[in-house]
A and B are shown apart, each in its own frame.
Chain A
Amino acid sequence: MIVTFPHMGDMSIALKELFTGLGRQVVLPPPISKRTLELGIKYSPETACLPFKINLGNFIEALEQGANTIITCGGVGPCRLGYYAEIQQGILKNLGFNFDMIVVEPDIVDIIKQLHRVAFKRNFWEVYLAFRLALAKIYAMDSIQRKVNMIRPREVSVGKSDFIWRQTVDVIDAAENLSTLRAAWHKGESELDEVKLKSGTRLLRIGVVGEIYVMLESSINQNLDWRLGNMGVEVYKTMYLSDYINGHLFRKREYLKKFKYLADLAQPYLGHYVGGHGIKSIAHAVNMGQEKYDGIIHVFPFTCMPEIVAKNILPKVSNDVDIPVLSLAFDEQSGEAGIVTRLEAFIDLLRYRRVKHHLA
Chain B
Amino acid sequence: MHVYLGIDVGSVSTNIAALDEFGKVIDTLYIRTQGRPIEAVQNGLRQIKERNHEIKVQGVGTTGSGRHLTGVIVGADSIKNEITAHAVAAMHIMPDVQTVLEIGGQDSKMIIIRNGVVTDFAMNTVCAAGTGSFLDQQAARLNIGIEDFGDKALESETPVRIAGRCAVFAESDMIHKQQTGHVTSDILNGLCQALVRNYLNNIGKGKQIQSPILFQGGVAANKGIKRAFEDALGCPVVVSPYHNVMGAIGSALLAKEEVAQTKRTVFRGFDVIDFVYTPRSFECSGCANMCEVVEIQMNGNVAARWGDQCGKWSNSVTVA
Whether the Cβ atoms of A163 and B119 lie closer than 8 Å is no
A346, B120: Cα distance in complex, Å? 8
Whether the Cβ atoms of A348 and B84 lie closer than 8 Å is yes
Residue of B125, B206, B287, B311 near A315 (CB, 8 A) is: B206
* Residues of chain A at the chain B interface (Cβ within 8 Å): 31, 33, 158-159, 162-163, 166, 223, 226, 302, 312, 315, 324, 329, 333, 337-338, 340-342, 344-346, 348-349, 352-353, 356
Whether the Cβ atoms of A333 and B309 lie closer than 8 Å is no
Residues of A within 8 A of B65 (CB): 337, 341
Residues of B within 8 A of A302 (CB): 126
Whether the Cβ atoms of A352 and B118 lie closer than 8 Å is yes
Question: How far apart are B5's CB and chain A's nearest CB, in angstroms?
Answer: 20
Question: How far apart are A322's CB and chain B's nearest CB, in angstroms?
Answer: 10
Whether the Cβ atoms of A349 and B309 lie closer than 8 Å is no
Residues of B within 8 A of A352 (CB): 117-118
Known: A33-B290, A349-B121. A159 touches B315 (CB 8 A): yes
Residues of B within 8 A of A162 (CB): 309-310
Known: A341-B83, A349-B118. A158 touches B311 (CB 8 A): yes
Number of A-B residue pairs, CB cutoff 8 Å, is 60
Known: A31-B288, A226-B309. A345 touches B84 (CB 8 A): yes
Residue of A315, A344, A356 near B81 (CB, 8 A) is: A344
Question: How far apart are B96's CB and chain A's nearest CB, in angstroms?
Answer: 16
Question: How far apart are A16's CB and chain B's nearest CB, in angstroms?
Answer: 15
Residues of B within 8 A of A329 (CB): 125
Whether the Cβ atoms of A163 and B123 lie closer than 8 Å is no
A337, B10: Cα distance in complex, Å? 12
The reply on B80 being an interface residue by CB < 8 A is yes
Whether the Cβ atoms of A338 and B119 lie closer than 8 Å is no
A329, B84: Cα distance in complex, Å? 21
A226, B206: Cα distance in complex, Å? 30
Interface pairs (24), CB distance under 8 Å = A33-B290, A159-B310, A159-B315, A163-B310, A166-B287, A226-B309, A312-B206, A324-B119, A329-B125, A333-B126, A338-B123, A340-B81, A341-B81, A341-B82, A341-B83, A342-B83, A342-B123, A344-B81, A348-B81, A349-B84, A349-B118, A352-B117, A353-B117, A353-B119
Whether the Cβ atoms of B119 and A356 lie closer than 8 Å is no
The reply on B115 being an interface residue by CB < 8 A is yes
Closest Cβ neighbor of B254 among chain A residues: A348
Name B236-286 residues within 8 Å CB distance of A: none
Known A312-B206, A324-B119; further 18 A-B contacts with Cβ < 8 A: A33-B288, A33-B290, A158-B315, A162-B310, A163-B310, A302-B126, A324-B120, A344-B80, A344-B84, A345-B118, A348-B118, A349-B84, A349-B120, A349-B121, A352-B117, A353-B117, A356-B115, A356-B116
